[in-house]
Structure 1
Amino acid sequence: MAILRSRDIREMDVEEIQKKLDELKAEYAKNISKSSAAGVYENPGKIKELKRTIARVLTIMNEKQKET
């Protein structure tokens, strides 16, 4: 999954943002379960970036919902 920038997320509508959020959460869960099964983080930078992107998406989604 490519990194989503704030301006890219702001250009999407709420349905697209929700769909992207579901994809990010699924990828995050997959990476966490894979790393916990192995006992060693395979790529901690990817996990950190996924967490930040999820937070960014949630923040922008909340902003859009407050506008309406």
Structure 2
Amino acid sequence: MVILRSHELVDMDVEELDGKLRELQEGLMKINGVLASGGIPEDIGETREIKKTIARIKTIKNQKTTNKKK
């Protein structure tokens, strides 16, 4: 799973951000499923990076929609 940086996300439009957000949330659900069943995920640090990337996407998406309203 590719972790995106904020400068990459700013160049995307809202539809692309929605797609990446869905993709990352699905990946996070898979990792959480492994953890819930008592397993160990392949990369433990990936959970933290996915959560941070989801937060970045939501922030940039919110900024873009707020700027369109003004």
TM-score, normalised with respect to structure 1: 0.91
Counterpart-to-counterpart distance in 2, 1:51 and 1:34: 16
Counterpart-to-counterpart distance in 2, 1:17 and 1:46: 19
1:1-68 paired onto structure 2 within 5 Å: 1-37=1-37, 39-42=38-41, 43-68=43-68
What are structure 1's unaligned runs of at least 5 residues?
Answer: none
Task: Measure how far apart 1:36 and its partner are.
Answer: 1.3
Deviation beyond 6 Å, 4+ runs, structure 1: none
What are structure 2's unaligned runs of at least 5 residues?
Answer: none
Task: Measure how far apart 1:51 and its partner are.
Answer: 0.6
Counterpart-to-counterpart distance in 1, 2:27 and 2:39: 17
More helix by share: 1
**CA displacement 1:16-59 (0-9 Å, x = unmatched):** 0001100000000011111211x244232011111111011100
The one-letter amino acid of 1:6's match is S
RMSD: 1.0
TM-score, normalised with respect to structure 2: 0.88
